[in-house]
Amino acid sequence: MVVRIQHLQQWKQQARPIAVLTASDWLWARLLDRAGVDVVLVGDSLAMVALGYKTTLPLTLDQAIHHAAAVCRGVEQALVVVDLPFLTYQESPQQAIASAGRVLKETGAQAVKLEGGYPDMAATVAKLVRSGIPVMGHVGLTPQSVNQLGYRQQGRDPAEGDRILTEALALEAAGAFAIVLEHVPPPLAQQITQQLAIPTIGIGAGPHCDGQVLVTADLLGFSETVPPFAKIYDTLGDRAIAAARSFCDEVRSGQFPAPPP
């Protein structure tokens, strides 16, 4: 089944949880699509897990587009959402339209994601949506603001929780089709999920969101540091090292390639 933004809305109404994973290249996008994920997110976390940067901030729009186009070539069913990189949309709604327009035109993705809420980002989202660009919001811990927030949980005190709820409501009113809630207390995520008509996608936000997202490198055991809320489903990193080591050993010992029959 080919997933479109309308399906996410339907699934919220049907209480059918939404599964989202990140990808940054053709190979992994193809595997995740075959596994049946609903949404493939070309997250700007690719700056860290694919390009080796310490934060998401250095990612450029050209790099995001390059990776997103490869992902789209590997996906047949899932909805593809692409993160707009740091400072490719915050300056003005016009800058956001230019960046998001390039993403949609040059990659084949169906939607963009951006971080932040009320008031500036809600106005930008409204402009994007009016221009025909589907937008996923992202509130709570917003990694593009790492130099202000760090990576700590957001929304712990009531005032901060109210601010995050207000941001989420403003993004919904602006026309966002879904919102990522990152690293917020589960009761806050539950309250936001109950108040919004659009789906919430949680990461480190507890079990009450309408969907869950993880960074694929974390769940497969490729990442050197994994956030406390991520679940490691396999340790492919260790298995890849072991396989490559076996290859090296066999080449050096003359075991591979085997002599021709």
Catalytic residues: 182
Which residues ranging from 205 to 244 are in contact with ligand KIV (CB under 6 A)?
Answer: 213, 215
In the complex, minimum distance from the CB of residue 37 to ligand KIV, in angstroms, rounded to a whole number: 13
Please identify, using beta-carbon distances, which residue of 38 and 83 lies nearer to ligand KIV. 83
What is the amino acid identity at position 224? E
User: How far is Cα 28 from Cα 30, in angstroms, rounded to an integer?
Assistant: 5
User: How many positions of this chain bind ligand KIV (CB under 6 A)?
Assistant: 10
Distances (CA, A) of 120 to 23, 91, 167, 200: 28, 10, 10, 20
Interface residue with ligand KIV, options 44, 167, 172, 218 (CB under 6 A) = 44
Please identify, using beta-carbon distances, which residue of 174 and 180 lies nearer to ligand KIV. 180
Instruction: Name the helix (H) or strand (E) containing 64.
Output: helix 61-74
Please identify, using beta-carbon distances, which residue of 33 and 83 lies nearer to ligand KIV. 83
Contact segment (CB under 6 A) with ligand KIV among 36-44, 90-98, 120-128, 145-153 equals 36-44
Three-state secondary-structure class, residue 203: strand
Three-state secondary-structure class, residue 22: strand
142 part of the interface to ligand KIV, by CB under 6 A: no
User: How far is Cα 131 from Cα 136, in angstroms, rounded to an integer?
Assistant: 15
SS3 for 243-259 is HHHHHHHHHHHCCCCCC
Contact segment (CB under 6 A) with ligand KIV among 27-35, 39-47, 66-74, 245-253 equals 39-47
Structural contact between residues 204 and 182, judged by C-beta atoms closer than 8 angstroms: yes
Which residues ranging from 64 to 123 are in contact with ligand KIV (CB under 6 A)?
Answer: 83
Contact segment (CB under 6 A) with ligand KIV among 10-18, 37-45, 119-127, 185-193 equals 37-45
Which residues ranging from 164 to 193 are in contact with ligand KIV (CB under 6 A)?
Answer: 180
Residue number of the CB atom closest to ligand KIV:
43
38 part of the interface to ligand KIV, by CB under 6 A: no
CB atoms within 10 A of CB 150: 11
User: How far is Cα 248 from Cα 25, in angstroms, rounded to an integer?
Assistant: 26
Tokens of 177: 């089709």
Please identify, using beta-carbon distances, which residue of 155 and 251 lies nearer to ligand KIV. 155
Interface residue with ligand KIV, options 8, 43, 184, 190 (CB under 6 A) = 43
User: How far is Cα 173 from Cα 179, in angstroms, rounded to an integer?
Assistant: 12
203 part of the interface to ligand KIV, by CB under 6 A: yes
Q: Where are the alpha helices (DSSP H) in 131-235?
A: 146-149, 158-174, 186-195, 216-219
Interface residues toward ligand KIV, by CB under 6 A: 22, 41, 43-45, 83, 180, 203, 213, 215
